[in-house]
Structure 1
Amino acid sequence: MSSASKPDYPPLALLSDDRLVALHSAIRDWQLTHGSLIKIGNWDDEDNIRARPIGTSIFPTLFPRSRFEEARQLQKDYNELYAAVAEDDTWLAEVLRDMLVSDPFAKALWSVHLKAKEAGYIQPLTMGIFRSDYMLHQQPVSAIDPSPGLAIKQVEFNTMSCAGGTHASIVNTMHHHLTATGLYTTPPTPPNPIHPSALPTTSTISNLVFALATAHAAYGPPKTALATATAILMPVQPFNINICDERPLEYGLWARAPPIPCHRVDFPTDFLARTTRAETGELLFYPPHSTQPVEVSVAYMRAGYDAGEHDEEGMEARVRIETSRAIKCPSVLGQLAGFKKVQQALAGAGVLERFLLSGNKGRVERIRGTFAPMYPLDETEVGLWARGQARRIETAGRYVLKPSLEGGGHNVYRGDIPEFLERAPEAEWRNWVLMEMIEPPKLRNVLLSAVGVHEGGVVSELGIFGTCIWKKRKGGGAEIVENKQAGWSFKTKADSVDEMSVVKGYGCFDTPCLVEDLL
């Protein structure tokens, strides 16, 4: 395909106003009938439920097939890498050294780890549901490489409460449905790239359910006579707005043959009220409808990723989970492994080789090739250089400043960085990472979101899900038990918007329309 910025994609000029109205209507009806929604409103009004459609694209967005396949093929290696990182608390302590002094969130999580380590970890198995997010980067022309190409560069690696799998699956199925109905059909000249073979499918919901079921099976039968059954427990945030992404995983577990019980519990207050830890370490949960406890096989965290959740109650809840026999998804060390400081440190010389012991040089270089340049803001030589780049308005425009927080909306971009650092205490600068901006190609689409309709330039982000179960080796490191690539999500935002979080309204779920070439 020729340049994606040409006006023939998306094919607005070839679609009548009536067709566009029909597309808009069909999308909204699909979202309403398939639960592609964000819950909003007053939780005290039990007679009404208020929700809004989640942001979505009208058309799939162009994406190079080769880069899509590259991202998918890398995921199992990334799973292995982060499993190994999560089992190396000595290395994590060194990488997070500054944050463990000055960042309350890192201090809280590390304190949970130290208390659990002192008590003695009793569950050798750990589970990871991961998501590696990439953007396309347009390589500049150079004397070495005179032909600019598109590479995938990692935005971040998520190890905690990886959301979006359900929403991505629903929107992907919707785009396939709209293709089948002929609503995207246009005259044959110029060619329209939207056809079934160009739209990949994702089975993220079933893959995540299968992974949780596998961990549940690995736990085995109850270990204490206090319970006669096991169950997966999903700690969630109170007043949860993203239930449409979480609930289908729960439903999928109950729908298996035989059913796998999965219970939700608000974190941390209800969790503390409804759980106990047996003397032999089993985590027992008392469902609201029963006086008989179930033994928790897997604690699947969909809460605990905000600093504010780790008050005295939150810390007590996390320690109870970490010191229990339940398989953690993630463990507190797995959560710390997802910090941006870790992402930056992994790019250091020889670091990947430390963790990918069984890897060959080729796969190490493939992973390293996805790294965007990242710098600390500490007192090292490179940190002082990065501080200079970040504080000068004439150079700050090339960067984004990132904290180690989840959920979107926390980054500081380009020209806002110098003023932000001027206001922030210098002792806290070391908690941030300075990353060079990724330069995506120029693409266009039409987006529907809570802020209205956007028609124009867009930027997309490809997320690859991975699931992994590993066993801690006695001598250190991670022995992989299960390792799978588990589907994908695809999100698109207006190119004038910096953040991508769909739940917070910045971006839209989408489907890649795979083409051979964008340039």
Structure 2
Amino acid sequence: MSTLWEDVFSKPQLLKEVAPIAVDTALLQGVIMRTKESPNSSDVVNFAPFTLLPSPVPRSLFEQAKSVQEDFNLLVDRLSQNPTFLEQTLASAMKVDDFIERLFKVYRHVLDEGLAHSVFLGINRSDYMFDCKADGTTALKQIEINTIAASFGGLSSRTPAVHQHVLRALGKSDEASKILLNNPSLGISRGIEKAWELYGSQKAVVMFLVENVQRNILTWKSITLLCQSLQHRHSTMAWEARLTMERSAAVKCPDIATQLVGTKKVQQELSRPLILEKFLPEYPEAVDRIRETFAGLYSLDIGEEGDQTVKIALANPEHYVLKPQREGGGNNIYGDEIREVLEKFKNSTERTSYILMDKIKPQPVKNCLLKANGQLQISECISELGMFGVYVRQGSEMVLNERVGHLLRTKATEHADGGVAAGVAVLDNPYLV
């Protein structure tokens, strides 16, 4: 796979000639973001960073990720309806994580008061990497499921046309025809439309709640970010606003229960024996499909189990990732830093604000990264595949449950963590092999 486009990468002059074509195409297609220098202004924009050519992705693993997305949609929705499970699972994290504690207080308040709404809209993105095993085989392993940070649906709807044009410019028309069509924004819009319809008022409007500084606003027309509301906000006014929203009859996306489902502690708990069977008892095949994507996940709760997790992580930190209870890139801890954190907190309840996960080891492939600073960087890269899912439930009836598209992000192997918004990863398209 690493030599898929070797005939292009071996010709520096050709790269220099095709790169401006790729950038112009990205701008024409609307693959754009605000700049770091002016994050709240659209007077000056730049192309969102992307790969010059699509990255190879094993066809079988891509199809596997597609086939399990509706299962994950159903699982997320059922978890969000089980307050006992959420409270028991997050009990240790709430003691040391103020953000999780405050979210749960709002959740408990609306439960005690009684839910004012009966329509539930979920827009999520399940992210995977391709793990190379000792026997030479490759397996699909889930990184996380994002129930709030499910972004880039709009941009990923526009990137196929960029790579199609670049490949044709390189005389690779047959390869260009194999780029997958992808339109998550259309599927996401269908979900929003269905939720609006079920709300039952012609005067209802769709409102987006966004952060004060947001470079990704230019893809909202294609429904990219949904209600990134109050994430990491700690002011009293912000939490009062969140409570007001949750108490309202509005359809929230996500509602606070679904946001709690996206925590890493829930992800870790789901990997325990018989937990999936509890929530999907009538779907044994879905249970098998979901479980097959799980990497090793380990609790750091106080007690014998957590002590053993600390022990194995300190002995071989390079084999693991330490993850806090947050979605999105840029939060994870790797390598020697794992040892530093756990040495500091190994006898403290602070360790329960993390989980430990096996480090996935993908096979690097060569690609050329185009970043907003104009730099053309040929690197050994790894990719992360996301599948977008949308569901709408009214009362106890699942009205809509769909996989609506995909996202591929690629970064140089020198970077351990971080996504497109963080300036590390770039947008990409899968080229199935």
1:246 aligns with 2:220: yes
Q: Percent identity?
A: 29
Between 1:504-513 and 1:21-30, the stretch displaced more is: 21-30
> 1:206 Cα shift?
1.0
> 1:195 Cα shift?
3.6
Residue number in structure 2 paired with 1:196: 177
Residue number in structure 2 paired with 1:116: 110
Residue number in structure 2 paired with 1:398: 319
> 1:436 Cα shift?
0.7
What is the SS of the residue equivalent to 1:469? strand
Residue number in structure 1 paired with 2:417: 499
**Measured at CA, do residues 419 and 460 of structure 1 come closer, stay the same or move farther in structure 2, by a change above 3 Å?**
same
Residue number in structure 1 paired with 2:69: 75
Structure 2, unaligned stretches of length 5 or more? Answer: none
What is the SS of the residue equivalent to 2:141? strand
**TM-score calculated relative to the size of structure 2:** 0.94
> 1:51 Cα shift?
3.0
Residue number in structure 2 paired with 1:330: 254
Separation in structure 2 between the aligned mates of residue 66 and residue 453 of structure 1, nearest angstrom: 31
Aligned length: 431
How big is each residue's C-alpha offset from its partner over 1:162-200, in whole Å with a ceiling of 9 and x where there is no partner?
101112122222112223x332539xxxxxx83412x21
1:486 aligns with 2:412: no
Residue number in structure 2 paired with 1:99: 93
1:231 aligns with 2:152: no
**Measured at CA, do residues 168 and 44 of structure 1 come closer, stay the same or move farther in structure 2, by a change above 3 Å?**
closer
Aligned match of 2:280 in 352, 356, 366? 356
Paired residues of 1:134 and 1:156 also in contact (CA < 8 A): yes
> 1:10 Cα shift?
3.7
1:5 aligns with 2:30: no
Residue number in structure 2 paired with 1:292: none
Paired residues of 2:95 and 2:101 also in contact (CA < 8 A): yes
How big is each residue's C-alpha offset from its partner over 1:375-426, in whole Å with a ceiling of 9 and x where there is no partner?
111123321111112234xx11111100111331111112211112334582
Judging by fraction of residues, say which structure has more helix. 2
Structure 1 residues 438-453: aligned runs within 5 Å: 438-450=360-372, 452-453=375-376
How big is each residue's C-alpha offset from its partner over 1:211-245, in whole Å with a ceiling of 9 and x where there is no partner?
111110111126xxxxxx11111111123211023
Structure 1, unaligned stretches of length 5 or more? Answer: 142-147, 187-192, 223-228, 251-263, 265-299, 474-478
Paired residues of 1:184 and 1:194 also in contact (CA < 8 A): no
What is the SS of the residue equivalent to 2:252? strand
Separation in structure 1 between the aligned mates of residue 187 and residue 2 of structure 2, nearest angstrom: 35
**Measured at CA, do residues 424 and 34 of structure 1 come closer, stay the same or move farther in structure 2, by a change above 3 Å?**
farther
> 1:49 Cα shift?
2.3
> 1:454 Cα shift?
2.4
1:428 aligns with 2:428: no
Between 1:331-340 and 1:452-461, the stretch displaced more is: 452-461
How big is each residue's C-alpha offset from its partner over 1:406-459, in whole Å with a ceiling of 9 and x where there is no partner?
331111112211112334582211110111110112311111124633212110
Separation in structure 1 between the aligned mates of residue 150 and residue 39 of structure 2, nearest angstrom: 28
Residue number in structure 2 paired with 1:315: 239
What is the SS of the residue equivalent to 1:444? strand
Between 1:102-111 and 1:376-385, the stretch displaced more is: 376-385
What is the SS of the residue equivalent to 1:460? strand
> Which residue identity is paired with 1:239?
V
Separation in structure 1 between the aligned mates of residue 15 and residue 208 of structure 2, nearest angstrom: 41
**Measured at CA, do residues 149 and 327 of structure 1 come closer, stay the same or move farther in structure 2, by a change above 3 Å?**
same
1:182 aligns with 2:169: yes
Residue number in structure 2 paired with 1:283: none
Paired residues of 1:492 and 1:500 also in contact (CA < 8 A): no
**Measured at CA, do residues 41 and 65 of structure 1 come closer, stay the same or move farther in structure 2, by a change above 3 Å?**
closer
**Measured at CA, do residues 25 and 231 of structure 1 come closer, stay the same or move farther in structure 2, by a change above 3 Å?**
same
Give me the CA root mean square deviation: 2.2
> 1:150 Cα shift?
1.1
Separation in structure 1 between the aligned mates of residue 196 and residue 248 of structure 2, nearest angstrom: 15
> 1:44 Cα shift?
10
